[in-house]
Structure 1
Amino acid sequence: MDALTLLHSRNSAPKLCEPAPEGEALDAMFKAAFRAPDHAWLRPWRFLTIRGDGRHQLGQLFIKATQQRRQQAGEPAMTPEDIDKLAAKPLRAPLIITVIATIKEHPKVPAVEQVISAGCAAHGLLLAAHAQGFAGVWRTGSNAFDATVMQGLGLQPNEEIVGFLYLGSVDGNYKPLRELALDDFRQDWTAPAQ
């Protein structure tokens, strides 16, 4: 697949199944992630791969975090159905890569630029998965920003979750791609008269 076809056809997969990228395919994905724009070569990202039983443990961490948030907000406790649904979320794909932005103090590279770099690395992972015939979807939600989840995943105080990339093979069909009118999102800039 040529580069423009890859870029124009990448899409999120609503349902994923085995096989997930492993071995050389997974290595190629990380090599693509490492090509993200990275001002001052800070490498402001790291990745956690979660598969097998680790997905069940991630589900339990999601439950714990959600229960704590609900309790702090004075909301009712989760029902057994809520708990089952939350426990099953990480089981939607055979592989999850947690993309983490590692923010470093630097006089010329603000934190936002480092988070964007980690986001570009995440996008590189998704593009490289697609190029090799795999599929994925980028998810966040409340748990991506929850201190309990971050602590449970071993994040440091200078780190934050950019996203959970759910990866595998497409199960069924991709959702339809919407065509966007280019001129709805671009315009020529003209300097104001002085």
Structure 2
Amino acid sequence: MSSVTDFLLNRASEPRLEAPAPDAVTLERAFSCASRAPDHALLRPWRYLVIEGEDLKALGDLFAAAYSDNIDGPKLEKMHKKAMRAPMVIVGIASVQKHHKVPEVEQLLSAGASMSFLGLALQDAGYGVMWRTGDMAYNPVVLEGLGLEKGESITGFLYTGTVSSTKPDVPRPELAEFVARWPK
């Protein structure tokens, strides 16, 4: 198998991330990889926001504001700290368009593939990534605060930085659990 296959077989999400984050040259190359995702009709139904440095505090403020009416002090502080899990957070946004040949679901899958390619490129450059969604990806306060347009949705928050400590290997399913031949 190729080095790509070996890389994929060893890919893992890394939740413990610290500075430094990817530099501008690395990011440019990674976003170029993201743009190579399958994309029926070349709609490019994705876009990204890069958040780092002091802007992570503003993201934490936005996360906390999304729940400030429903939770108390310690839980509110926990929401704020979610933005500080890595030195850089890249927000993936699906920008679905009306198209006579390309249904919404294909555009969402393309945006997800783009996000995946981005994460793989960053890992190949030596950085760790953790793709997260959760309540923040669907909260209207967060969507508005990040400037999403009508019809856009968050594909995830890609936390990235330097791996501070690797997590233990995760058991992988047996192929027979998710692969079958058709017809039987």
Q: Bin the TM-score by the shorter chain.
A: over 0.9
CA RMSD of aligned residues (A): 1.4
- For residue 65 of structure 1, what is the aligned residue in structure 2? 66
Partner of 1:103: 96
Look up the match of 2:47. 46
Take 2:167 and 2:103, find their aligned partners in 1: how far apart are those partners? 37
The answer as to whether partners of 2:67 and 2:76 remain within 8 angstroms in 1 is no
Where do 1:32-181 residues align within 5 Å?
32-68=33-69, 70=70, 78-181=71-174
Return the index of the structure with the highest Cα Rg: 1
Overall identity of the aligned pairs, in % = 40
2 CA distance for matches of 1:59 and 1:18? Answer: 18
State the shift of 1:177 in Å: 2.9
Distance in 2 between the 1:23 and 1:112 partners?
32
Aligned partners of 1:168 and 1:174: how far apart in 2? 15
State the distance in 2 between where 1:46 and 1:28 align.
15
Q: Any unmatched runs of 5+ in structure 1?
A: 71-77
Q: Could you tell me which amino acid in structure 2 is paired with residue 168 of structure 1? A: G
TM-score by length of 2: 0.95
Per the alignment, residue 178 of structure 2 pairs with 185
* Residue equivalent to 2:20: 19
Q: Post-superposition, which runs of at least 4 consecutive aligned residues in structure 1 deviate over 2 A?
A: none
3-state SS, counterpart of residue 165 of structure 1: strand
Distance of 1:179 and 1:104 partners within structure 2: 36
Q: Which runs of 5+ in 2 are unaligned?
A: none
TM-aligned CA deviation for residue 180 of structure 1: 2.2
With structure 1 as the length reference, what TM-score do the two structures score? 0.90
Q: Structure 1: how far apart are the matches of 2:37 and 2:44?
A: 9
